[in-house]
Amino acid sequence: MSIPDVIRCAYAELVVTDLAASRAFYVDVLGLVVTFEDDDAIHLRAFEEYLHHSLVLRRGDTAACARLAYRVRTPGDLDLAEAHHRALGVRVERVPAGATRGIGEAVRVQDPLGFPIEFFHDAEHVERFTRRYDVHGAGAISRLDHFNVVTPDVPAAQRYYEGLGFTVSEDIEDAAGTVYAAWLYRKATVHDVALTGGDGPRLHHIAFATHERSQILHICDHLGALRQSDRIERGPGRHGVSNAFYLYLRDPDGHRVEIYTHDYYTGDPDNPVVRWDVHDNQRRDWWGTPVVPSWYAEASTVLDLDGVPVAPQERTEAREADVTIGADGFSYTRPDEGFKLGAQV
Ligand code: 4SX
Ligand code: FE2
């Protein structure tokens, strides 16, 4: 059976409890562009995006992730996505165009990891603000880059995504072969989805890209000037994995948003995989900055296709925060010899 041709991660839908507070963060501070808004939802896009939205904020009683959507190359890929997931034995729904405003016909599944995933091809086009420097501002966000999901069994999750044609770019392991995290892509960047080992399904973060590091620094300055430095959870810094420059923010409901730039091209078929030892203290921050405990522990609840929260399953394998010294990621437990930093395989 052939598999759907997934182009890239395309949009997320987050349930938020106070639309005005979320608007103040995503629109007034981060500068995302409003495509549509009413009393129930705000549809947002970044400056280079010409599809209707890359983020939907929907008002609800409890904060959660309602959907992670991937775009497929042709309408026929929807049939392939449907057949592929029926064969996997998971719940599948076909929804008509407009089920989400601006999005064409779609296939929705609760994937084997428990996440509400959508595949769509058609979407309404809107103005692409690439050259609208008059409205960009110094912290301009250009596009959605990736999703990061928490799941107990990273190798099983990796098999699901590889079954959909994704390729691993980097991962974090230990000498015993325990996999703590993996990064997989369809578009030619380091990832469209990252798998973080932990109690799941939960959404760890969504990430938006900027063009330049200076734009990330400006977002920090901007939050400081607004006396909102508590929105900054981790960073700014340089990732080991992906080599990207990063910043993690928490929105008013605690949903984590990463601002990310400067990863690398992965589009050739022989792109080398980078394997990191979990004991390498530069894997998650190239400068050795400790990872804050909340970053390992906290993540957003996900909803099933009926909008009901999914209870997370516990991770039974070793947890990264426990195997690195002090549970804060400030790990100097790597052996002095025997392996290279970020070894290419
Ligand atoms: O913390 S890591 O350096 O492993 C990392 C986390 C790398 C890339 C990401 O997008 C991320 O969220
Ligand atoms: Fe990320």
Query: What pLDDT is recorded for position 170?
Result: 98
pLDDT for residue 337 is more than 60: no
CA 68/CA 254 separation, integer angstroms: 17
Ligand 2 centroid, distance to 46 Cα (angstroms): 17
Q: What are the start-end ranges of the E strands in 124-253?
A: 143-151, 167-173, 179-185, 193-197, 202-209, 232-238, 245-250
Q: Rounded mean pLDDT of the chain? A: 95
What six digits make up the tokens of 221?
Answer: 């300055």
CB 208 within 8 A of CB 259: yes
Q: What are the start-end ranges of the E strands in the chain?
A: 6-16, 33-37, 41-45, 55-59, 64-72, 92-95, 106-110, 116-120, 143-151, 167-173, 179-185, 193-197, 202-209, 232-238, 245-250, 256-261, 274-277, 300-301, 343-344
Is any atom of ligand 1 closer than 6 Å to the C-beta of 240?
yes
pLDDT in tens, 234-250: 999 999 999 999 999 99
Is any atom of ligand 1 closer than 6 Å to the C-beta of 278?
no
Lowest average pLDDT, out of 273-282, 311-320, 324-333, goes to 324-333
CA 337/CA 345 separation, integer angstroms: 17
What six digits make up the tokens of 135?
Answer: 């409205």
Arithmetic mean of pLDDT, 141-166: 98
Could you identify the atom of ligand 1 that is nearest to the CA of residue 248? Answer: 12
Protein residue whose Cα sits closest to atom 4 of ligand 1 = 284
pLDDT in tens, 31-63: 999 999 999 999 999 999 999 999 999 999 999
Q: Following DSSP, what letter does each residue of 53-94 receive, concatenated?
A: -SEEEEE-SS-EEEEEEEEESSTHHHHHHHHHHHHHT--EEE
Which of 9, 171, 183, 256 best tests ligand 1's pocket when mutated (most atoms within 8 Å of CB)?
183
Is any atom of ligand 1 closer than 6 Å to the C-beta of 147?
no
What six digits make up the tokens of 64?
Answer: 């959660």
> 27: how many CB neighbours lie within 10 A of its CB?
16
Query: What pLDDT is recorded for position 177?
Result: 95
Q: Are strands 6-16 and 55-59 parallel, antiparallel or unpaired?
A: parallel
pLDDT in tens, 200-216: 999 999 999 999 999 99
Q: Are strands 143-151 and 193-197 parallel, antiparallel or unpaired?
A: parallel
Is any atom of ligand 1 closer than 6 Å to the C-beta of 104?
no
Helix (H, G, I), strand (E, B) or coil at 116: strand
Could you identify the atom of ligand 1 that is nearest to the CA of residue 207? Answer: 10
pLDDT for residue 330 is more than 70: no
CB 133 within 8 A of CB 239: no
Is any atom of ligand 1 closer than 6 Å to the C-beta of 207?
yes
pLDDT for residue 342 is more than 70: no
Query: Model-level pTM?
Result: 0.96
CA 255/CA 65 separation, integer angstroms: 9
CB 242 within 8 A of CB 184: no
pLDDT in tens, 81-125: 999 999 999 999 999 999 999 999 999 999 999 999 999 999 999
Q: Which residue has the tokens 């949009």?
A: 11
CATH of domain 6-129+139-301: 3.10.180.10
Ligand 1 centroid, distance to 315 Cα (angstroms): 20
Is any atom of ligand 1 closer than 6 Å to the C-beta of 284?
yes
Q: What is the DSSP letter of 103?
A: B
Ligand 1 centroid, distance to 28 Cα (angstroms): 26
Query: What pLDDT is recorded for position 334?
Result: 63
Angle, helices 154-163/76-88, rounded to nearest 10 degrees: 140
Which of 241, 249, 256 best tests ligand 1's pocket when mutated (most atoms within 8 Å of CB)?
241
Cis peptide bond upstream of 236, omega within 30 = yes
Is any atom of ligand 1 closer than 6 Å to the C-beta of 6?
no
Is any atom of ligand 1 closer than 6 Å to the C-beta of 206?
no
Which residues make up the environment of ion ligand 2, defined by Cβ < 5 Å? 148, 207, 258
The secondary structure of the chain in percent helix, strand, coil, rounded to multiples of 5, reads 20, 35, 45
Ligand 2 centroid, distance to 288 Cα (angstroms): 17
Kindly give, in sequence order, each residue whose CB lies less than 8 Å from that of residue 300, ignoring residues fewer than 6 positions away. 14, 63, 64, 65, 202, 203, 204, 254, 255, 256
Lowest average pLDDT, out of 105-109, 124-128, 139-143, 317-321, goes to 317-321
Ligand 2 centroid, distance to 79 Cα (angstroms): 30
Is any atom of ligand 1 closer than 6 Å to the C-beta of 11?
no
CA 179/CA 198 separation, integer angstroms: 11
CB 304 within 8 A of CB 110: yes
What six digits make up the tokens of 17?
Answer: 């409890």
Ligand 2 centroid, distance to 131 Cα (angstroms): 26
Is any atom of ligand 1 closer than 6 Å to the C-beta of 258?
yes
- In 3D space, the residue among 217, 163, 171, 177 whose CA is nearest the CA of residue 191 turns out to be 171
